[in-house]
Structure 1
């Protein structure tokens, strides 16, 4: 019986110890919650009192305000340039349609689309059979006219015959010679040739097709005299001028070059309120007509500018301002903006370049905040 009692007492003791431990933990948790509530109420009371005292005594507010950790930067004194960025297309002053100059059927086409040819190369041949027959017939007439003229000339030198007979034979010979020259010119025009070095863009005729003078046969683009044409907003009239420096980039081939404005349009397009600007291009193998380009035309330059990053400039009811550090405090410094280009703003008034500007942390401060500069 005694041994059985021992086994019963041990579990009961463990249970009682466990209950006591849980009661103690509950008491501590309740006590912690009560202290947290009191601390929260005290913080609210403290903040309220600080605000009320600061309103009555500004110096108290400055002394009791916590320092904000910030980083700093300085304004830059540099050459500031502003560019007008527009999109343009490469064009050629030698983008022409080559037409036939004589009538006839296409006998041969030697050119294919995309072919690069030199000046004088044959692109197509028009049937010249009728012209050739006329030349052969005229050659016989001319041969006889020359013989008659030579005999008449010898007689005239011997004072035989009349001057009229001599002049008539001479006129007939010269008339036939001119006709022969005209037929040979027509014969040469049956061979359609490249007018300059370039590329055959399109072929508009087929073998055996009948063409007339003026019939477009080929679209031909020259390799030289390339330029870029772009539409620029009318608000830049008088700002963008002939001779202005231009940086041209070609996104498709990742190439960039410098050139100048070569021509300015004289009228405003009423549909989109723009005017034409042309930029001359050097002969470049990798640049092709109709290629898209981005032009940056310099329209403004200040060699002694003070500049700051755009993101540092804030606004209020008084205007634009930037935070500077003076005697451990942040101060609002009102400025006058100039031009803006690529996230950089030109400052016309308000800064002299010697200020220490608040960089990181500028959104967490206000006027007269105590600041701590990160090292």
Structure 2
């Protein structure tokens, strides 16, 4: 009877052993499975348009709010809004009665301290006063002298003088008005020196594409048909909370005095430094198969045809699906240099648009970006291009 049971169990054991073998083979297959992917060729090209159109207002980088150092009643305002001013020109004065009284008090206090010191000095020489009394008298004289200097300094700043050649942009107070120390009375700029800037608003993508020293063509609204050369000299590193945009300053060259006024409207076309740029990343997933097909071509050495192209300095527009585990300004993506293996690289995120992520750093030496199948990849995973 035992023999019969043993015979009946043999087929079951055989099936179990075969099943275990199949599971182990499946695990081995998964460990060495080639992941199908789609690629986006980068070819060292920067993302976005070769020319970026922007607009903004003309300003200078030396606007100054002028004020009195001391408080008092304004006695005279000697210029009006729009007036040209010269360095050192007197612009406004306070009523001097109070400040002159303060200076006189400080002067009298200093003179008394000098007399006290001289008296104690003679007494000390006659051995009547002690050394401590002499030192105290000298300290009192020094304190009175500094108070006198401070009062004289305040009197010299009870008037406002121009700090540079320029124009009065705004008059913020009136004659007879009581002002506190530091209250702005005039806003001026150095426009007479010709240091005009066009301050423009930028989107995330535009900010990432523009670099300092990029050239620009600038037009002034009031001068139809005339174009000026410009250079990007500055861009903000943070978002303007009021406008929800980034800012950049374009210095305008060759502008004659009187052509531009503060606050005038202007436009510019910024050349981002590359004559061959691509927006293929913005085409979306619908065109990714065609893009990947072009990326899949190989040369005689088995490498991608564009793998040895000169790499750009960025930025790049990539699909959202290509970015893995983005955290603030960093994340990582997968690239390939040989169409056979995936390589994991860390990238810097410059911003996000409607359909793409702007990458500013990390893809300099990447000939092709993996844009599908990334979720199944690890560093060094074997891949096949669809």
Tell me the TM-score normalised to structure 2 length.
0.51
Alignment match, 1:93 = 61
Alignment match, 2:344 = none
Contact 2:228 2:254 (8 Å CA) reproduced: no
1:126 to 94, 97, 114: 94
- Match of 1:148, SS state, is helix
Alignment match, 1:281 = 252
1:290 to 239, 251, 263: 263
2:201 pairs with 1:231: yes
Bigger-Rg structure (1/2): 1
Contact 1:226 1:283 (8 Å CA) reproduced: no
Distance change (3 Å), C-alpha of 1:138 and 1:302: closer
Distance change (3 Å), C-alpha of 1:191 and 1:297: same
Alignment match, 1:16 = none
Alignment match, 1:205 = 173
Contact 2:78 2:92 (8 Å CA) reproduced: yes
2:130 pairs with 1:162: yes
Contact 1:89 1:290 (8 Å CA) reproduced: yes
**How many Å separate the matches in 2 of 1:93 and 1:181?**
34
Alignment match, 1:264 = 235
Alignment of 1:67-146 (within 5 A): 82-146=50-114
Alignment match, 1:181 = 149
Distance change (3 Å), C-alpha of 1:301 and 1:175: closer
Contact 2:169 2:262 (8 Å CA) reproduced: no
**How many Å separate the matches in 1 of 2:170 and 2:206?**
38
Deviation at 1:302, TM superposition (A): 4.0
**How many Å separate the matches in 1 of 2:101 and 2:63?**
36
Distance change (3 Å), C-alpha of 1:197 and 1:235: same
Alignment of 1:1-12 (within 5 A): none
Deviation at 1:178, TM superposition (A): 0.9
- Match of 1:166, SS state, is helix
**How many Å separate the matches in 1 of 2:238 and 2:221?**
29
Deviation at 1:197, TM superposition (A): 2.2
- Match of 2:111, SS state, is helix
Contact 1:91 1:289 (8 Å CA) reproduced: yes
Contact 1:234 1:273 (8 Å CA) reproduced: no
- Match of 2:109, SS state, is helix
Distance change (3 Å), C-alpha of 1:222 and 1:150: same
- Match of 1:149, SS state, is helix
Tell me the TM-score normalised to structure 1 length.
0.53
Deviation at 1:191, TM superposition (A): 0.9
Deviation at 1:179, TM superposition (A): 0.9
What are the ranges of 5 or more consecutive residues in structure 1 without an aligned counterpart? 1-80, 304-375
Alignment match, 1:246 = 216
Deviation at 1:160, TM superposition (A): 5.6
**How many Å separate the matches in 2 of 1:281 and 1:145?**
59
**How many Å separate the matches in 2 of 1:211 and 1:140?**
28
**How many Å separate the matches in 1 of 2:183 and 2:245?**
35
Distance change (3 Å), C-alpha of 1:202 and 1:84: same
Kindly tell me the number of residue pairs found equivalent between the two proteins.
Answer: 223
